[in-house]
């Protein structure tokens, strides 16, 4: 079976307003609930681990308790970095979780199709990430703000979530990162350090991360067009 971990313990600085962006409503339903409901539609998923800041545990538990259509869930406390929040969530993995997905709670427009594709590829290859072809030209720069070089765009993808891994691979990757004080910006980067080849799966351009206030309006536009 598959367990999904949802980091939602950040401070939403770029959103502003002093509230957890995952609790903001998008066309009448919170970002967090939208995310959890989509994952709950995936048959193979049997448990949801939601990681939030200590002062929000009760609020979020109340929100989830009052919601229909969710797979069994547990709420736990996060840390100062996304990676530490996920590490805390991983302590609650049920014994029957052979595949673990990590998904930003702040990506409520993920589709069932993408989730299933990541699970399938994680089962087959050990690790898989949702990504989209990069639209921009990306430059590598130096500390003085000068261009060092330009990687060919055809080799670049923008990485999204979900990211999925066989349980033992992800746990080993998190242990190694903790031992070596490595802080990555996604889960795959921890797994890559084990030498595991991670498969890239088509992620969908609508699968944005709600980050700044404009993203709320962009997401609502996707929802209105119901192609999310």
Contact call for residue 12 and ligand CTP (CB under 6 A): yes
In the complex, what is the shortest distance from the CB of residue 32 to ligand CTP, in angstroms, rounded to a whole number? 8
Q: Which one of 78, 108, 126, 204 is in contact with ligand CTP (CB under 6 A)?
A: 78
Strands (E) across the chain are located at 2-7, 25-26, 29-30, 45-52, 73-77, 99-102, 127-133, 140-141, 147-149, 157-166, 199-202
10 binds ligand CTP (CB under 6 A): yes
Q: Is 105 in the site for ligand CTP (CB under 6 A)?
A: yes
Calpha distance 109→126 (Å, rounded): 25
Asked if residue 209 binds ligand CTP (CB under 6 A), the reply is yes
Q: How far apart are CA 221 and CA 224, in angstroms?
A: 5
Residue from 26, 51, 102, 208 touching ligand CTP (CB under 6 A): that is: 51
Q: What angle do CA 8, 174, 107 make, to 5 degrees?
A: 25
Distances (CA, A) of 221 to 51, 134, 150, 207: 28, 22, 34, 13
Residue 55 site contact among Mg ion, ligand CTP, none (CB < 5 to 8 Å, cut-off depends on kind):
none
CA nearest neighbour of 75 among 32, 114, 107: 32
Structure tokens at 41: 């539609």
Residue 104's binding partner among ligand CTP, Mg ion, none (Cβ under 5 to 8 angstroms by kind) is ligand CTP
Stretch that binds ligand CTP, among 3-11, 145-153, 173-181, 188-196 (CB under 6 A): 3-11
Q: From the list Mg ion, ligand CTP, none, pick the one residue 216 interacts with, judged by a Cβ distance below 5 to 8 Å according to partner type.
A: none
- 106 makes contact, choosing from ligand CTP, Mg ion, none, with CB < 5 to 8 Å by partner type, with ligand CTP
SS3 state of residue 46: strand
Residue number with the smallest Cβ distance to Mg ion? 10
Show contacts with Mg ion in window 10-39 (CB under 5 A): 10
The site for ligand CTP (CB under 6 A) is made up of: 7-14, 22, 51, 78-82, 85, 104-106, 209, 211
């Amino acid at each position: 079976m598959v367990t999904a971990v949802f980091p939602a313990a950040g401070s939403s600085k770029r959103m502003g307003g002093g509230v957890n962006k995952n609790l903001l409503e998008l066309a009448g339903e919170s970002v967090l609930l939208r995310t959890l409901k989509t994952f709950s539609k995936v048959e193979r998923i049997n448990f949801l681990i939601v990681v939030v800041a200590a002062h929000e545990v009760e609020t979020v538990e109340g929100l989830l308790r009052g919601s229909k259509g969710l797979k069994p869930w547990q709420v736990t406390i996060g840390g100062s970095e996304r990676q530490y929040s996920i590490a805390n969530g991983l302590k609650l993995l049920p014994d029957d979780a052979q595949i673990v997905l990590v998904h930003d709670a702040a990506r409520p427009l993920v589709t069932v199709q993408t989730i299933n594709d990541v699970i399938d590829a994680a089962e087959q290859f050990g690790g898989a990430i949702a990504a989209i072809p990069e639209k921009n030209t990306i430059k590598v720069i130096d500390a003085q703000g000068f261009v060092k070089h330009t990687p060919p765009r055809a080799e670049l993808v923008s990485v999204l979530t979900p990211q999925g891994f066989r349980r033992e691979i992800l746990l080993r990757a998190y242990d190694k990162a903790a031992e070596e004080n490595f802080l990555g910006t996604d889960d795959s980067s921890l797994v890559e350090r084990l030498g595991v080849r991670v498969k890239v799966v088509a992620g969908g351009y609508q699968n944005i991360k709600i980050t700044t206030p404009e993203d709320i309006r962009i997401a609502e536009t996707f929802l209105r067009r119901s192609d999310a």
